[in-house]
């Protein structure tokens, strides 16, 4: 039986997953649609590849959410943590060009994704820690 505490924790995990998914989509959409305006982006990256990458990353999170609701919750939480950690990859834009070389919209979408990813990562790791305590490991 699931306790109120478990359900409340699941609510936050789901809510933060949704927020991160939206933030990630906003960044990837902006990146795909304005790909050639992003400073120093490799020319071999295509719009379709950006969207395909988002779908692949999002699949990790979706599978994690499905698994977390099963009896393999810790494995699902690890997948969600990996999904969230992938949100920090947007910071790689700043390895190609400084913050000042990006437009305000570019910076906003990058940092929105990173902030949402950080919140989800903390939530997933916290739940994973609690699962470990609950299981006695």
In the structure encoding, which two tokens stand for residue 82, read together? 């990996």
User: Rg of the chain over CA atoms, in angstroms?
Assistant: 17
* Model pTM above 0.85: yes
pLDDT tens digits for range 69-105: 888 889 999 999 999 999 999 999 999 999 999 999 9
Contacts of 2 (CB under 8 A, 6+ apart): 10
Q: Are 57 and 17 in contact (CB under 8 A)?
A: no
Return mean pLDDT, the chain.
92
């Amino acid at each position: 039986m699931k306790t109120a505490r478990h359900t409340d924790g699941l609510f936050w995990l789901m809510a933060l997953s949704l927020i991160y998914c939206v933030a990630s989509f906003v960044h990837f959409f902006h990146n795909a649609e304005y790909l050639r305006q992003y400073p120093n982006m490799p020319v071999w990256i295509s719009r379709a590849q950006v969207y395909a990458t988002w779908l692949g990353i999002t699949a990790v999170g979706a599978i994690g959410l499905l698994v977390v609701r099963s009896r393999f919750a810790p494995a699902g939480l690890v997948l969600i943590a990996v999904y969230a950690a992938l949100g920090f990859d947007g910071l790689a834009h700043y390895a190609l060009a400084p913050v000042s070389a990006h437009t305000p919209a570019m910076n906003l979408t990058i940092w929105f994704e990173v902030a949402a990813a950080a919140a989800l990562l903390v939530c997933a790791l916290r739940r994973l820690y609690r699962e470990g305590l609950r299981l006695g490991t």
